[in-house]
Structure 1
């Protein structure tokens, strides 16, 4: 088939353009070179080929692929030839390809599956996106990567000890190394915070936590045979005992992935169907410690800056695990960091290694607890102290003692709102007058998903359908999620914070001394201008940052 004739006959390219593209082709298909040069669109070329060959050109944007049908074809062949089975009719399977001239690929797929194929044309990117969405990471690793090297831009920054054994040999094979590396690369590209690798009764399940939500990650069924090797490879990388399969293990991996330094915290726990793995990814390059960047509104930043500039006292940030407390605290430390200020932290674990800050890792097994570390820090002449978490009365008392002796102390508590921090400290055994006289302010926070800026959908809200505590008057336009390729059809991209700041005034101190419950402290805060988490979320809805359902989901139970 004469591609030049097809394209020139339809006036899509000139002879000069064809000659220019041919000179740059270097063995590649010339129509592809023309597309790269911007002289031709892929759609134009495919429509011309479809017309000439009597084929159909289809848009795959909203196409629902038959996943059961895909399972009838070898995964590796689909990845190798980039041909996607779409649907079946009267015993014939429609398959999408972007190369109508690759008859060998169609012949191989037909032979391997034993099915009659009807090829249709579609854009290359649409096909590969759907293949990845339905077969997931590692699909091309299954049969092809054994013969390839593992040089894919992933570099282990710590040496691995020499180990022996068949299991080690298999885990160190190029294909398994490549498979694990692909998993990490894919997770990083999707801004994943946690990777869950879970053995199930009927196969392996992989899930990524993205923007706070767990999402299943498609993987080819053949990956199940690699499960033990994947776990062993991760154990080797994190210097864990590869022979131990009965007890939980925790480790850490330091990587450089395509120029970005990544810390990976590894947790392995034996389950009934095998060992489950969770990887917490910390991308140092993406960390920006700035109070504006975490989502603090201007009015709260002003008050919070006044707090962190105090010479002594305790400032607490509260909320559940994964709500961004550590990022907020490091943003505070970043504001205070200077050559004239000594900052010391005691953490479990040290999540962000930061230049200019002295950081201590807790080791409970040898007695280095938060409380012990904090007492030792006081002998190092610090100005500012960060305690990763106040977990018990001993740590709380040590933090209070540090504040009373002229130090500014930052820490976290696991409470649902700001007011409850005071009652939690008292429940730990702290005297009410000490809690009220040292804690200068408490900020509760949550993370909510941002609407995708590429596809967020404006609408006119019905006031009667909005929550009763939504600010009135209601804006004429609000936004809701829609979903597009940029956000992988979720409607959301990234997260931002919502906040509730309670500053300790005389009223709060009096209530603490009275041992008042958190509801009374909270009510006092509201009467004196405190913005609740939920109201902070509504303001983000009004600004078009997020939507009503997202705020309602995150702030359940926060209605006053």
Structure 2
């Protein structure tokens, strides 16, 4: 398939008599004000349906429109694209047509997504148009463990009941510990977070419920919401795992522990903070299985890579790396250290905390 052409959606919908010029004008004004995509503004304003937009794009580009209600995805193909990329590009790999992979997309005019998927999949791709709601529903079903986690949360809530429970006794029993609902729930949360490459897990008690969120590519996404009464059991279990003081609930605490996900070690940094509805927990996940990337694998444009390499090889100076949480600051700095780490050099780092162990480098942990 040839690289798709850029289409002006508003003009296309007017040409196909799906919306009027006046509706387009009002939608463009709202788009400018809110910053939302034009298609979403038109749908939310009830000027046109999601399916009508998808069919119009498919017709204009001479590519198929597919109703996902009647399509069964195969894990053999969907797993070719990690969930983070599937959500980012609003895409799912459907099948292998020998000469190319068929990929379902919401926006077939997104040239950046087309180029990136071609690069990531290392294959030619053909596009089919689908609606965003159907695509996201299938991404949730294919990649996530939401139903499993929600079910385990309900199981834990049922076990705790409405009467006071000795949580320490509940959690510290050794025989069959791995079958305890709180243990199975946390394990599923960790496995799901690692699968979607989340950098952080947030466990947040609210007034009426407990919210668990993942930070993926710097953006927080709600994983599940559960009964508020399981919050204390989860926090207590995590405190026991990280060696924190389980009796201290009025002051913030920091700790660290390890979990195994599919036999791969994952370091977890944990911070607790008292809130008006209970203790909130934030966990940073540091998977040792993925290994450290080299600078060439970070996806930088060649000119940026060359400038960074020149900077890190200089004998004096400073390199500042900034960005929001989960954007890759630590990954970039460790990749830079790997770049200059040779037997002829002595390297000392000062870190808070040490996130990855680098052979041959003297890493100093800061203690306040």
- Normalising by structure 2, report the TM-score: 0.55
Q: Helix, strand or coil for the counterpart of 1:292?
A: helix
Any unmatched runs of 5+ in structure 1?
1-57, 63-124, 148-164, 365-560
Measure the CA separation in 1 of the matches of 2:337 and 2:281: 32
Q: 1:272 to 1:60 in 2, by over 3 A?
A: farther
Q: Helix, strand or coil for the counterpart of 1:354?
A: coil
From 204, 212, 219, the counterpart of 1:206: 212
Does residue 192 (structure 1) correspond to residue 198 (structure 2)? The answer is: yes
Q: 1:140 to 1:274 in 2, by over 3 A?
A: closer
Does residue 139 (structure 1) correspond to residue 139 (structure 2)? The answer is: no
Does residue 169 (structure 1) correspond to residue 153 (structure 2)? The answer is: no
| Residue number in structure 1 paired with 2:244 | 240
Q: Report if aligned partners of 2:199, 2:326 keep a CA contact under 8 Å in 1.
A: no
Does residue 256 (structure 1) correspond to residue 270 (structure 2)? The answer is: no
Measure the CA separation in 2 of the matches of 1:203 and 1:130: 26
Q: 1:359 to 1:131 in 2, by over 3 A?
A: closer
Q: Which structure exhibits the higher relative contact order, with contacts defined as CA atoms closer than 8 Å and separated by 6 or more residues? A: 2
Q: Report if aligned partners of 2:264, 2:288 keep a CA contact under 8 Å in 1.
A: yes
Residue by residue, what CA displacement relative to the aligned partner does 1:223-282 show, whole Å, maximum 9, x if unpaired? Answer: 433221111000000100001111111111122221211111101101001111111111
Q: 1:307 to 1:254 in 2, by over 3 A?
A: same
From 263, 267, 275, the counterpart of 2:279: 275
Measure the CA separation in 2 of the matches of 1:208 and 1:169: 29
Runs of 4 or more off by more than 4 Å in structure 1? 130-136, 144-147
From 295, 298, 310, the counterpart of 1:294: 298
Does residue 328 (structure 1) correspond to residue 332 (structure 2)? The answer is: yes
Measure the CA separation in 1 of the matches of 2:327 and 2:151: 34
Q: Report if aligned partners of 1:197, 1:278 keep a CA contact under 8 Å in 2.
A: yes
Q: Report if aligned partners of 1:138, 1:182 keep a CA contact under 8 Å in 2.
A: no
Give 1:211 deviation, angstroms.
Answer: 1.6
- Write the mapping of 1:12-411 to structure 2, written as runs, cut at 5 A: 59=69, 129=141, 135=147, 137-140=149-152, 142-143=154-155, 166-172=166-172, 174-219=180-225, 221=226, 223-364=227-368
Q: Report if aligned partners of 1:136, 1:218 keep a CA contact under 8 Å in 2.
A: no
Measure the CA separation in 2 of the matches of 1:130 and 1:187: 15
Q: Report if aligned partners of 1:136, 1:217 keep a CA contact under 8 Å in 2.
A: no
Residue by residue, what CA displacement relative to the aligned partner does 1:71-122 show, whole Å, maximum 9, x if unpaired? Answer: xxxxxxxxxxxxxxxxxxxxxxxxxxxxxxxxxxxxxxxxxxxxxxxxxxxx
Give 1:289 deviation, angstroms.
Answer: 2.5
Q: Report if aligned partners of 1:260, 1:285 keep a CA contact under 8 Å in 2.
A: yes
Give 1:359 deviation, angstroms.
Answer: 0.4
| Residue number in structure 2 paired with 1:433 | none
Measure the CA separation in 2 of the matches of 1:187 and 1:281: 8
Larger Rg: 1
Residue by residue, what CA displacement relative to the aligned partner does 1:147-205 show, whole Å, maximum 9, x if unpaired? Answer: 9xxxxxxxxxxxxxxxxx93212233522111111111111111111111111111111
Measure the CA separation in 2 of the matches of 1:146 and 1:359: 46
Give 1:322 deviation, angstroms.
Answer: 3.7
Q: 1:212 to 1:287 in 2, by over 3 A?
A: farther
Q: Helix, strand or coil for the counterpart of 1:139?
A: helix
Q: 1:244 to 1:306 in 2, by over 3 A?
A: same
Give 1:306 deviation, angstroms.
Answer: 2.2
Any unmatched runs of 5+ in structure 2?
1-67, 73-136, 160-164
Q: Report if aligned partners of 1:146, 1:175 keep a CA contact under 8 Å in 2.
A: no
Give 1:138 deviation, angstroms.
Answer: 4.4
Measure the CA separation in 2 of the matches of 1:258 and 1:249: 29
Q: Helix, strand or coil for the counterpart of 1:59?
A: helix
Measure the CA separation in 2 of the matches of 1:212 and 1:352: 20
Q: 1:247 to 1:139 in 2, by over 3 A?
A: same
- Normalising by structure 1, report the TM-score: 0.37
